[in-house]
Structure 1
Amino acid sequence: MLVQATNRLQQGSARSRSKHLFNRAKAVFPDGTTRATVEKDPFPIYVQRGEGAYLVDVDGNRFLDLNNNFTTLIHGHGFEPVSEAVVDLLRSGTCFANPTEHEIGLAALLTARIPAMERVRFVNSGTEAVMFAIKAARAFTGRPAIARIEGAYHGAYDWAEAGQSVSPGKDGWDPSPVVAPAYRGTPASVAEDVHLLRFNDVEGLEKGLSAASDRLACVLIDPMPSRAGLMHPEPAFIETLSETASKYGILVIADEVLNLRQGYAGASARYGLEPDLIAAGKIIGGGFPIGAIGGREEVMRVFGTDDAKPLLPQGGTFSANPVSMVAGRVAMEAMTPDAFDRLHAMGGRVRDGLRAIIARRDAPFSVTGAASLFRIHPKQVAPAEYRDAYLSAEETSLMRRMSRHFLETGVLLPYGAAACLSTVMVNNDVDLILRAFDNFLDADTQSGKERAQ
């Protein structure tokens, strides 16, 4: 099946149905899609179904899926325990204005596993989780401003996204990060209340937080920023962040919407960060829409107490809907310590294998990531911050070629983002990833010689 799919791709006729659907989509969607994150090269791959670690598109091509809906599907596609639980639930209703027992079950699981989650509120997406975490920090401290990491992705809330798409000017990078709005028409006041920090810059962190301490409600940080490069946090950076934030009464928000998959207790616990609030999502929904804000009981009281009007009202028509609650609980129950250990070992094999190929070929690439996540960079030295990971035009072209090659080999490798593994993957899938990368380096070297002639 894989060989047939690869041959059809190389023949150029393998995606005719996807192309047809994209042409139809352009008549009803502004750019032919409903998500800016959908990859078009030159048109999207339309999916027919998922089968464990693999996707099958509308043209019958089968691909190893290293995207898993942007790291959401930690068990891959069609995970049977979740499917069975949801089918059983659907017979009794999908959503209600009243609470159900199901939300208590998922909340109890999360608070038992994640040290910083003493209390939880459910929302519908990672964007909402980050948004309400920021609002909670404001309500708790009475301050309006936030600090966040340059280049990191935190969803679509104005203050959370300001500074995620910064780029160097014609004279290079400014020594200090400068807030850039995410879209035209962003109110100027947003930039006034967002302070950018550079990842792993201890001196800049201390200086930035102290300079704006009287206005900062929180520091928003992804413990391993995916979009910004998927780099390890330096222990000194985490320690300084905790100490400085505590000194000035600034809350620390850990955005673990993506990186909660790094361990049984999440990413903060893995790197020694003790946040006041955590934003979660993706894997905790079992493939259904979800977000969660968790944190210290004292801080979470802004959402309400038994005898007082909430400082921060929060609701949502589909928040804590039973389908997401049941799917999330079943998916997370299957993520035992042993399941995490197996995923971590598989991720280590992928990263070590990629690095061994790079070393053997002396190729200008590096690899970052941890646990079940990895990212390939067209850089000789692995990046330590967003600026190191930023791609030039030439590097962008190289990564596009690599993504296309993986596709032709039967692997969906996300472009410019984290690739992830799922529990249903096996050693042969790891071999396929490594073989695809090795073959790409060989093919691109030959193509480079031809381009130079």
Structure 2
Amino acid sequence: MMGKSMKCSGADFPGLKSRELSSRAQKVFPGGITRSTVERDPSPCYISKGSGAYLTDVDGQKFLDLSNNFTTLIHGHAYPPVIEAVSRVLQDGTCFSNPTAHEVALAELLVSRIPAIDKIRFVNTGTEAVMFAIKAARAFTGRPGVAKFEGSYHGSYDWAEVGQVGNPSTWGDADSPVPVPAYEGMPTSVADDCLILPFNDPDQARQQIAASADRLACILLDPMPSCGGLNHPDPEFIAAVVETAREYGVLVICDEVLNLRQGYQGASARYGIEPDLITAGKIIGGGFPIGAVGGSSRVMSVFDGSNGPAKVGQAGTFSANPVSMVAGYACMEALDETAFARLDSMGDRLRSGLSDVISRRNVHYVVSGAASLFRIHNKATLPENYREAHTTPDEAKNMSDMKRYFLSQNIILPIGRAACLSTAMTDADIDGIVEVFEKFLNLEPQ
């Protein structure tokens, strides 16, 4: 499965050229990187190209990619229909202040596919999508507050960041999590407008949403939060959130920037959620910058400025640029129900294979996830929320050792967030991941 590509080890990874680039980067970037999610263990691996399911670094080492730019590249790298579509449109220009037919085509595709979306607006990132969804909810309800779930990642808008991070010394009582600020100096007024709830706790959802409803504009819900543990949502919990929100006129925003890849109609449909707004990104751009907020015509009307000033102004110099639009259309058009069924099948094969190894070896590991997403935990039982997924120092060291071992076997395995599959992968790739995991367990002390 891995072929005969060069193997990396603690001695030669990252390679010489990556180390040289890292040295140059230290002189121009704070910390030597320009996005905080880049792996530095001990320094970044610089990539020269990607093709299908594989990456090649600047030192010529080849890796099976289970990150896919943080779940964005659902068809893998350099997907031919996307490359061909982008190559064609580049000849006509890259961006305009006027609209193009390309944005209408992608919007029509998404509206026709996702049940909760009647109208849609394009932005440039998932962070922007969440930001404008929150603004829309505030404008529609006239309330300022945002409820969200502990440990869920929703981008870099202040009110979406509160409660994304926390540890046993900061997170407070399990029934009433502290709105932990995302950075030092965050205004206290931001935390005052945020209600942090425990994930998968229906009773607390009902009680706390009801108690704060007079100030709540929206509930921001990721149906399967990646950084929170990639936990399955309990149906009773989902029902409690949606029913209580409806009772008190609070809007439900499903953040599917990552989890739209869970199915042809997205994660909301998969889990029986009927949100007022959905945020999307990642896969809908085909590998180019994109975000979108969509929902019912009634709520989305806050963006309508055709008869006077809109309640929420949303522009963006590069919003709906033709390159992202045609790339997204090519990607999403190829993601038909057959493609999603195959991704589901591969995901089931992988999670089952990993779980079989764990059961056979009787070790303290579990696997969470759904569809084309998975996450390995060094835990005895499957976590149901962020606190249960939080790693102890020993567990964190073990997972770092696992990541390094996978690298030594030419596989990039994200730790602490979702790993993902792509349509470019084969059953042999899936079986190879399971084999490497079992080899890693063979190295552990018994």
Q: TM-score range by the shorter chain?
A: over 0.9
SS at match of 1:332: helix
Q: Name the CA distance, whole Å, in 1 between partners of 2:250 and 2:265.
A: 23
Cα drift, residue 3 of structure 1: 6.2
Q: Name the CA distance, whole Å, in 2 between partners of 1:210 and 1:88.
A: 53
What residue is the counterpart of 1:154 in the other structure? 154
Cα drift, residue 114 of structure 1: 0.2
Q: Name the CA distance, whole Å, in 2 between partners of 1:440 and 1:157.
A: 39
What residue is the counterpart of 2:220 in the other structure? 220
Q: Name the CA distance, whole Å, in 2 between partners of 1:16 and 1:83.
A: 30
Percent identity for Structure 1 against Structure 2: 57
**Residue 172 and residue 278 in structure 1: after superposition, are their counterparts in 2 closer, same or farther (change >3 A)?**
closer
Q: Does 1:287 align with 2:287?
A: yes
> How do 1:298-337 and structure 2 match up within 5 A?
298-337=298-337
What residue is the counterpart of 2:111 in the other structure? 111
| Structure 1 segments (4+ residues) deviating >2 Å | 1-14, 170-175
CA deviation digits over 1:302-327, x for unaligned, max 9? Answer: 00143232000110000000000000
SS at match of 1:28: coil
Q: Name the CA distance, whole Å, in 1 between partners of 2:13 and 2:278.
A: 46
Cα drift, residue 9 of structure 1: 2.9
Number of aligned residue pairs: give it. Answer: 446
CA deviation digits over 1:283-311, x for unaligned, max 9? Answer: 00000000000000000000014323200
> How do 1:43-442 and structure 2 match up within 5 A?
43-169=43-169, 174-442=174-442
Q: Name the CA distance, whole Å, in 1 between partners of 2:138 and 2:428.
A: 49
Contact preservation (8 Å) 1:163, 1:181: yes
SS at match of 1:319: coil
Cα drift, residue 10 of structure 1: 5.5
CA deviation digits over 1:393-421, x for unaligned, max 9? Answer: 11000000000000001100001110000
Q: Name the CA distance, whole Å, in 2 between partners of 1:283 and 1:246.
A: 30
Cα drift, residue 12 of structure 1: 2.7
Alignment-mate amino acid for residue 193 of structure 2: D
Cα drift, residue 91 of structure 1: 0.5
Q: Name the CA distance, whole Å, in 1 between partners of 2:255 and 2:365.
A: 28
Q: Name the CA distance, whole Å, in 2 between partners of 1:56 and 1:6.
A: 10
Cα drift, residue 147 of structure 1: 0.1
Gapped regions of structure 2 (runs ≥ 5): none
Higher mean C-alpha deviation, range 301-310 or range 398-407: 301-310
**Residue 219 and residue 342 in structure 1: after superposition, are their counterparts in 2 closer, same or farther (change >3 A)?**
same
Contact preservation (8 Å) 1:72, 1:287: yes
Cα drift, residue 171 of structure 1: 10
Q: Name the CA distance, whole Å, in 2 between partners of 1:6 and 1:405.
A: 14
Q: Name the CA distance, whole Å, in 2 between partners of 1:171 and 1:60.
A: 44
Contact preservation (8 Å) 2:174, 2:198: no
Alignment-mate amino acid for residue 148 of structure 2: R
Contact preservation (8 Å) 1:14, 1:61: no
Alignment-mate amino acid for residue 407 of structure 2: L
TM-score of the pair, normalised by structure 1: 0.96
CA deviation digits over 1:11-58, x for unaligned, max 9? Answer: 536611111110110000001011000011000110000010000000
Q: Name the CA distance, whole Å, in 1 between partners of 2:376 and 2:2.
A: 23
SS at match of 1:414: coil
**Residue 73 and residue 170 in structure 1: after superposition, are their counterparts in 2 closer, same or farther (change >3 A)?**
closer
SS at match of 2:32: coil
CA deviation digits over 1:262-295, x for unaligned, max 9? Answer: 0000000000000000000000000000000000
Contact preservation (8 Å) 2:231, 2:383: yes
Q: Name the CA distance, whole Å, in 1 between partners of 2:138 and 2:171.
A: 37
Q: Name the CA distance, whole Å, in 2 between partners of 1:257 and 1:161.
A: 15
CA deviation digits over 1:99-152, x for unaligned, max 9? Answer: 001000000000000001100000000000000000000000000000000000
Contact preservation (8 Å) 2:175, 2:204: no
Contact preservation (8 Å) 1:5, 1:14: no
Contact preservation (8 Å) 1:168, 1:174: no
Contact preservation (8 Å) 1:403, 1:414: yes
Cα drift, residue 199 of structure 1: 0.7
Contact preservation (8 Å) 1:9, 1:15: no
Alignment-mate amino acid for residue 46 of structure 1: Y
User: What do you get for the CA RMSD once the two structures are aligned?
Assistant: 1.4
Contact preservation (8 Å) 2:55, 2:62: yes
**Residue 393 and residue 172 in structure 1: after superposition, are their counterparts in 2 closer, same or farther (change >3 A)?**
farther
What residue is the counterpart of 1:20 in the other structure? 20
Q: Name the CA distance, whole Å, in 2 between partners of 1:229 and 1:388.
A: 8
Q: Name the CA distance, whole Å, in 2 between partners of 1:298 and 1:6.
A: 56
**Residue 343 and residue 170 in structure 1: after superposition, are their counterparts in 2 closer, same or farther (change >3 A)?**
closer
Cα drift, residue 7 of structure 1: 3.6
Alignment-mate amino acid for residue 35 of structure 2: R
